[in-house]
Amino acid sequence: MGMFGRFREKVSEVGGPGHFKPTSNDRVNLMYKEGCEFARRLDKCARQIKAVESATSAMLLTTEDTLSRPMPHVYQIDSETNQAKPVVVPEAIQESVAAVGTGSLHDVRVKELRIIAHQQGQKMQATVLTPLNQWLTVFRSFSSRIKALENQRLEFDAERRAFNKLELKRIRQQQAQDKVEPDLVAKLEAKDASLSAKRNEYQAYETEIFESLASLVKDAASLRVYLAAAMRVEAEAFTRATA
């Protein structure tokens, strides 16, 4: 059945009279609908985690660059030359400042900040962003499969509708003539075989998608672990930077 045939079946389901009940895709459609909403929020969360990771890395690198440079000096007027000269800081204090950033007021491991920034980015990617994006990629792959399932359902229901029309014609012939014409019997047998094939094809594909999607939905619960890991990675980076 082509696109036009599926469209005609869709129109018949929406506005057609009679007691024909379309085959239900509800268990798949409802899971996919809720999954889409969750995926939209998860994607936003992943992008924000990436932004935080980038901002943290930038902050650590900028801090390292800032604190690695000479600090401002205190100037005094030299009594002999009458010129402003910087006050000399004892070498031991300079080394202390270089080691921790600004001396005793703050404890920053300046020389390790670049390494910490790099490792923080790698760890965030490996333990948080990669698993989140893998789940999103798999979920997005269902879009085409859901459309294909709907097409199969329309083709199956169109076959059901055609079979029902032939069956109704057979009943009327039987009632009016007390017999059924052989050509109608042959059409019914052929249509019944075609309907059985369509039913088996549709049910197998629907079950396959349902089981795959249900498994992925269950896996979504474990994503909480990765979201919590994002916070731990950030906390660990700042702890190492100030230990």
Sheet strands (E) in the chain? 75-77, 84-86
Contacts of 21 (CB under 8 A, 6+ apart): none
Given a contact cutoff of 8 angstroms between Cβ atoms, the answer to whether 150 and 206 are in contact is: no
- Signed CA dihedral, 82, 83, 84, 90: sign only: negative
**Residues 162-187: tens digit of each pLDDT:** 888 898 888 888 887 877 788 888 98
DSSP element (H, E) containing 139: helix 130-140
φ/ψ (deg, to 5) at 199: -65, -45
User: 3-state SS of 59-72?
Assistant: HHHHHHHHHHCCCC
Given a contact cutoff of 8 angstroms between Cβ atoms, the answer to whether 163 and 196 are in contact is: no
Q: Find the distance separating the first CA and the last CA of the chain, reported in whole Å.
A: 69
Which whole number is the average pLDDT over 56-66?
93
pLDDT number for residue 179: 79
3-state helix, strand, coil in the chain (%, to 5): 80, 0, 15
Measured distance CA(7)–CA(178) in Å, rounded: 37
Q: Is 164 exposed, middle or buried (0-12, 13-18, 19+ CB in 10 A)?
A: middle
Residue of 103 and 192 predicted with greater confidence: 192
**Residues 1-54: tens digit of each pLDDT:** 666 666 566 656 666 556 778 888 999 999 999 999 999 999 999 999 999 999
Measured distance CA(176)–CA(179) in Å, rounded: 8
Beta bridge partners of 75: 86
Contacts of 4 (CB under 8 A, 6+ apart): none
pTM of the model: 0.76
pLDDT number for residue 16: 59
SS3 17: coil
pLDDT number for residue 127: 95
